[in-house]
Amino acid sequence: MGNDSMVIKYWGVRGSIPAPLTNGQEKEKQCANFMDVIKRGGTSELFGNDADAPGLAEKIMQFLNNQPKSLAGTYGGDTTCLEIQARDSPLIILDAGSGIRALGNVLLGRLFSENNLNPLDSDQERKHDLHLFFSHYHWDHIQGFPFFGPAFIPGDKKVNIHFYGKKNAKTRLSDALKGQQEYPLFPVGWKAMPCKKTYKELGRIASTEIPVGKVVVKYAELDHPDRVLGYSMGIGGKKFVCATDTEHRAIEDPFLIELAKDADILYYDAQYTPEEYSGKEGPSKVRWGHSTFELAVKTALAANVDTVVLGHHEPTRSDFKVEELMENALEFRNECLRLPGNEGKALNVVMAYQGLEQRL
């Protein structure tokens, strides 16, 4: 990990509902990849004619790793879950969508090999501590927790989970999580999970700073049905901001601009194209609680952000369409940078995918 202050890993970036690749989509990718190989001269031109040649598998894998994810790989179908490893701090997780299942499997490996959830923290007293922040309680952001392996480990490997979420007049944080594991919805009840659980509900108007080891967590209420919390994580002069499931209306959200000011990375909900959002293509998505790549770029520039990550992908959008959206986002970014008021600014635009790692 070198001297990284923070490592962000994306375990789920799909919006609304898990969307695994279908059999037809897999074949479409394979067909497009074969066509690309043929255009490059065929397999013999790229890899030679000897199927038993030493290092051939590595050569093919290197080729595939350099292909777009629409041809080899995928942007992923799991719903929102981000892992934050920070120096001298307990592990932080943002949301528990279906992506938390795979993260949990990795954390089980750390528990039984290194006996520490966060490789960047050497403090033995908090080696099993985990701080889980929820943006909100819609199902695609909590549905993976019943499959989170570390929550089921008893004894000396027991994990201490600190849950954070917005205060709600109708539903308590603990009740929102318990509810999806009540009979007949799930075979294992909430109380049967041996992990230690503590809860902190966050005020929706007057936000406070939350220290998590050396990390300072701040939050702001953003626009979404029943509202949502955006979070910033700061350590050693580095700053990451997560703003999923947020809508912009006519202008950039001033609360988000303040939260994301001078951030190194802003993860932003870009579920819809501008045409989808406005209703020019399909039914209008206004007041559905999600945003577009255009407002992602505008918000990042207004907040003086270094890198904006486009995520919470529309579940019906194929990997080919995700890359098309990325091309449009880059073109829009370039147009914005030519506008008066943006002179001298720069902005990196990244398309989120499962497995993406960013280091600060």
Structural domain boundaries enclosing 289: 6-20+75-353
Stretch (H or E) spanning 235: strand 228-235
Output the pLDDT for position 139: 95
Percent of the chain with pLDDT over 90: 90
The separation between CA 145 and the C-alpha centre of its own chain, rounded to angstroms, equals 15
Q: Tell me, what amino acid is at 98?
A: S
Output the pLDDT for position 206: 66
How many Cα atoms sit within 13 Å of 133 on the Cβ side? 27
Is 176 part of any domain?
yes
Is 194 part of any domain?
yes
The pLDDT of 24-51, averaged and rounded, is 93
Higher pLDDT, residue 3 or 234: 234
Task: Say how many domains are in the chain.
Answer: 1
Output the pLDDT for position 104: 98
Is 70 part of any domain?
no
- Among 169-173, 215-219, 228-232, which stretch is predicted with the lowest mean pLDDT? 169-173
Task: Provide the token pair at 185.
Answer: 């919805």
Task: Provide the token pair at 182.
Answer: 């009540």
Distance (Å, whole) CA 132 – CA 84? 10
Q: Tell me, what amino acid is at 231?
A: Y
How many Cα atoms sit within 13 Å of 327 on the Cβ side? 7
Residue 268 in this model has a pLDDT that exceeds 70: yes
The pLDDT of 301-315, averaged and rounded, is 98
Residue 61 has a CB neighbour count (10 Å cut-off) of: 11
Furthest C-alpha separation in the chain: 68
Output the pLDDT for position 204: 73
Q: How is 160-209 classified by DSSP, letter by letter?
A: EEEEEEE--SS--HHHHHHHTTSTTT-SS-GGG--SEEEEEEEPSSS---
Bridge partners, 349 (sequence order): 308
Output the pLDDT for position 1: 52
- pLDDT tier at 227, thresholds 50, 70, 90: confident
How many Cα atoms sit within 13 Å of 73 on the Cβ side? 16
Distance (Å, whole) CA 37 – CA 31? 10
Strand 129-133 and strand 81-86: the pairing is unpaired
Residue 2 in this model has a pLDDT that exceeds 80: no
Task: Provide the token pair at 5.
Answer: 């202050």
Q: Residue 259 in contact with residue 246, Cβ under 8 Å?
A: no
| Residues 230-261 pLDDT 10s | 999 999 999 999 999 999 777 889 999 999 99
Which residues are CB-contacts of 241 (< 8 A; sequence separation ≥ 6)? 230, 231, 232, 233, 259, 260, 263, 265, 266, 267, 305
Is 295 part of any domain?
yes
Distance (Å, whole) CA 271 – CA 293? 8
Output the pLDDT for position 252: 87
Q: What's the CATH number where 296 sits? A: 3.60.15.10
The pLDDT of 127-151, averaged and rounded, is 97
Residue 45 in this model has a pLDDT that exceeds 80: yes
- Is the peptide bond preceding residue 184 cis, with omega within 30 degrees of 0? yes
Q: In the 8-state DSSP scheme, what is residue 297?
A: H
Bridge partners, 78 (sequence order): none
In 3D, which of 98, 19, 10 has the Cα closest to residue 310? 10
Residue 3 in this model has a pLDDT that exceeds 90: no
Is 62 part of any domain?
no
Average pLDDT, the chain: 95
In 3D, which of 196, 204, 83 has the Cα closest to residue 144? 83
Distance (Å, whole) CA 332 – CA 321? 16
- pLDDT tier at 263, thresholds 50, 70, 90: very high
What is the four-CA torsion angle of 255, 358, 177, 180, rounded to 10 degrees? 120
Is 33 part of any domain?
no
Q: Tell me, what amino acid is at 195?
A: C
Is 359 part of any domain?
no
How many Cα atoms sit within 13 Å of 39 on the Cβ side? 6
Is 319 part of any domain?
yes
| Residues 64-110 pLDDT 10s | 999 999 999 999 999 999 999 999 999 999 999 999 999 999 999 99
